[in-house]
Amino acid sequence: MAKKRPQTKAKRPQLSDAEVPVVGAREPCPCGSGRRYKACHGRAAAHATTELVHRPFEGLPGECDWVALRELVPAATVELTLRGGLPEGVPSVRLATVLPMAWPALRRDDGSVLLGLQNDTPSGDISRDLADTLQRALEAEPGTPVEGRRAPAEGPRLQDLLDPEGAFEPVVHSGFEFWVPDAENATPEVAASLERANAAAIPTAKLSGVDAAYWCETPEKNHLRWVMPHAEEQLLDALARLHAAGRSSLGEGTRLVGSFRAHGLTVPVWDLPSGVTAEDVEKPAAEFAERLATALAVTEPLTPDERRARGGLTSRQVTLS
Q: Rounded mean pLDDT of 235-259?
A: 96
Burial 268-305 (b: 16+ CB within 10 A, else e): bbbbbeeebebebbbebbeebeeebeebbeeeeebeee
Q: How confident is the model at residue 187 (pLDDT cuts 50, 70, 90)?
A: confident
- Minimum mean pLDDT range among 25-29, 61-65, 199-203: 25-29
- Minimum mean pLDDT range among 126-135, 145-154, 300-309: 145-154
Q: How confident is the model at residue 4 (pLDDT cuts 50, 70, 90)?
A: very low
Q: For 29, list phi and psi in degrees, rounded to 5.
A: -65, 130
Q: How confident is the model at residue 294 (pLDDT cuts 50, 70, 90)?
A: very high
Interatomic CA distance for residues 179 and 184, integer angstroms:
12
Question: In 165-315, which ranges are continuous DSSP H helix?
Answer: 188-200, 232-244, 278-296, 304-315
Decide if 310 contacts 234 (C-beta within 8 A).
no
Instruction: Indicate whether 284 pLDDT > 60.
Output: yes
Strand intervals (E) in 121-167? 144-146
Q: How confident is the model at residue 139 (pLDDT cuts 50, 70, 90)?
A: very high
What pLDDT score was predicted for residue 41? Answer: 65
The pTM (predicted TM-score) of the whole model is 0.83
- Minimum mean pLDDT range among 155-169, 176-190, 263-277: 176-190
Instruction: Indicate whether 120 pLDDT > 50.
Output: yes
Instruction: Indicate whether 183 pLDDT > 80.
Output: no
